[in-house]
Amino acid sequence: MSPAIKTLLAVCLAILLLGAGATTWLFLRRGPAGADYVEARVGDLRLAYPAAYARFPPGRNGGRLDSLEIAATFPDLRPAGEATLPLTGVKPGSPALVFLSIGPAERKLDPADLVSMLYSRFLEADVVETDNGLIRRAFQDGSPYDGEDLYFAPPEGRAFAARCAKPTVPPDGLPETCIAALREQGADVEMRFTTALLPQWEKLAEGMRALVKSMMAR
């Protein structure tokens, strides 16, 4: 084999190895603590995160996703993607699970405007001020949110708003859950969590925003 051909083959091999290495780096890299990191594309969002946050196999593999479904413990924000037992955070200091669905900000209505622009038309007139600084109002019977209460930070819920299932009577033993939405750096995030976390709503919203922001790849 001539030297020219050997050189050409060596260059081709180097290109192939470089391409394979680049692909591996794109979808799987090692974090500082040895955790597996994956990179995913959700619309125009590029997210990089420890695979242990992902709830389902597509999220653990990375690549193109319709949305990223993750789970974290609160308040320490540790990965909990494979958690099977409910953590309700009922006891002071005990952890709770928070589920997040992250997608591109495609909806025209900013989550900060949900109370004033959407929910307000379906609310009962009674207003209750809670001990944790939130306002509670019940949704009307027969509305799209029948069976739920709305908890929001005054005056219009721009800082925080959550729809929470009313307690069942008699209790069915299942955790009572809330759904809240926020927008962070081009991502719309839906959070699902236990009602036991409502007294910590400020820390919860701040923590979830910080978690999503940490996943935004640059």
Closest to 39 (Cα-Cα) out of 19, 64, 66, 22: 64
> What is the total count of domains within the chain?
1
In a domain, 34, yes or no: no
Residue 168's pLDDT is 75
In a domain, 53, yes or no: no
The model's pLDDT over 173-194, given as tens digits with 9 standing for 90+, comes to 666 899 999 999 899 999 999 9
Residue 105 to residue 174: CA distance in whole angstroms: 32
Q: What would the two tokens of residue 195 be?
A: 């009602």
Is a pLDDT exceeding 70 seen at residue 87? no
* Domain limits for position 128: 66-215
The model's pLDDT over 3-51, given as tens digits with 9 standing for 90+, comes to 444 443 343 433 333 333 333 233 334 444 445 899 999 999 999 999 9
The model's pLDDT over 103-148, given as tens digits with 9 standing for 90+, comes to 999 878 999 999 999 999 999 999 999 999 999 999 999 999 999 9
Closest to 143 (Cα-Cα) out of 119, 166, 167, 165: 119
Residue 217's pLDDT is 81
In a domain, 117, yes or no: yes
In a domain, 37, yes or no: no
In a domain, 14, yes or no: no
What backbone torsions phi and psi does residue 32 show, to the nearest 5 degrees?
-65, -25
Closest to 217 (Cα-Cα) out of 54, 47, 32: 47
In a domain, 162, yes or no: yes
Lowest mean pLDDT among 7-16, 86-95, 199-208: 7-16
**Rounded to two decimals, what is the model's pTM?**
0.79
Is a pLDDT exceeding 70 seen at residue 100? yes
In a domain, 193, yes or no: yes
Q: What is the Cα 43 distance to its own chain's centre?
A: 15
In a domain, 30, yes or no: no
